[in-house]
Amino acid sequence: MNDDHREEEKESERTYELSFLLSSEEAAKEISALLKRNGAEMTHESPVSSIRLAYPIKKLTSAFFGYVHFIAESEKIQLITNELKLKPQIVRMLLLTPPPAPPIRMSRPIREVETKPVLPAELTNEALEQKLEEILK
């Protein structure tokens, strides 16, 4: 019964990507803590880097950009989103479910490699002539 419950939990878990613009670099630690607090397992976290914005957002001309890939239960996503919206340090955010990776297709079928017969190390001329006669018959 316990294994069935674990399988149900795994089925409700999905991979997500959270991209964000922050007003301060320290706010990235708060996002990580918020995700962990809500039971999300982070699989990849990018370093936060300063960028210049194409247009002012909330009177800011530069911000700190970063993203996080994480696995979480789909029921917890609304809670995470609501908590993130309440953080004044988050200028913009985007929460996505990345598309599944496309299957890898082979450009051409794999051919079997022909193996060459192994010849004895020492082959005399007489043995060679005899083999040639056998082949030509």
Q: What is the pLDDT of residues 17-61, one digit of tens each?
A: 999 999 999 999 999 999 999 999 999 999 999 999 999 998 999
In a domain, 126, yes or no: no
What number of helices (H) and strands (E) belong to the chain? 4, 5
In a domain, 72, yes or no: yes
The arithmetic mean of pLDDT across residues 105-121, rounded, is: 67
In a domain, 12, yes or no: yes
92 lies in which domain range? 8-96
Q: How many domains does the chain have?
A: 1
Q: 95 vs 3, 35, 36, 90, 130, CA distance in Å? A: 30, 12, 16, 13, 77
What CATH number is associated with residue 29?
3.30.70.60
pLDDT band (50, 70, 90) for residue 118 = low
Say if residue 75's pLDDT is above 70: yes
In a domain, 14, yes or no: yes
In a domain, 102, yes or no: no
In a domain, 80, yes or no: yes
pLDDT band (50, 70, 90) for residue 11 = low
Q: How far apart are CA 64 and CA 24, in angstroms?
A: 7
In a domain, 13, yes or no: yes
